[in-house]
Amino acid sequence: MVDRAASCLELDFSASTFSLAAFQEDHADANAEEADRPNRIGLFLGATTKDGHTGFTIGLEYERRLSELIGVGAVAEATPNGREFVGAVPVFFHPVGGLAFSIGPGFSVEDGHAHFLVRFGVGWDFELPAGLSLAPTVSYDLTEGTEDAVVYGVLLSYVF
């Protein structure tokens, strides 16, 4: 009976070791692939809610991955009526899977007046074929001298 328990224990241990090794190989492959393609550029389509009004928003976003967890980038967004333009330079944090948090300084130009802002964001990348991804995102612009804004929508991006 003791020998049978010992052999089961050995079998379980070797299976766990094999699973861990397979996980490490897959994780290493994903990291190597990311290292080969550290750039991401995307088109943002969504809405901005500010001062009790909501308007269509379009933008561009770029990120350069510095490591598996950290990236830096640039964001430029505008409302089609030309009422507001936002630019920011966020730092991206990728703690797990497609989850991304961002924070960074920026500015807002509204009706000819510039305002300093800090943008906080969160999103989740869903990978698509051919290096594309689709990410629902939400950002909060803490703006000096004017009302804060909530920006939400989807980002269609390409990794290269």
Q: What is the pLDDT of residue 57?
A: 97
* 51 vs 92, higher pLDDT: 92
Alpha-carbon torsion, ordered 50, 52, 53, 56, to 10 deg: 50
Residue 73 has pLDDT above 60, yes or no: yes
How many CB atoms neighbour CB 120 within 10 A? 14
- If asked whether residues 2 and 69 sit together in one domain, one would say no
- If asked whether residues 93 and 118 sit together in one domain, one would say yes
Q: What domain range includes position 19?
A: 1-36
Mean pLDDT of the chain: 84
- If asked whether residues 30 and 98 sit together in one domain, one would say no
**Residue range 7-19, pLDDT digits in tens:** 444 444 444 444 4
- If asked whether residues 4 and 43 sit together in one domain, one would say no
- If asked whether residues 21 and 53 sit together in one domain, one would say no
pTM value is 0.77
Q: What is the pLDDT of residue 24?
A: 44
- If asked whether residues 51 and 119 sit together in one domain, one would say yes
**Residue range 87-114, pLDDT digits in tens:** 999 999 999 999 999 999 999 998 889 9
Are 152 and 138 a contacting pair, CB within 8 Å? yes
CATH code, domain carrying 110: 2.40.160.20
User: What total number of domains does the chain contain?
Assistant: 2
Q: Which 3 state secondary structure label does DSSP give 148?
A: coil
Are 37 and 159 a contacting pair, CB within 8 Å? yes
* 60 vs 25, higher pLDDT: 60
Task: Identify the residue whose tokens are 């490591």.
Answer: 67
- If asked whether residues 11 and 51 sit together in one domain, one would say no
- If asked whether residues 43 and 61 sit together in one domain, one would say yes
Stretch 16-33: mean pLDDT: 45
Residue 58 has pLDDT above 60, yes or no: yes
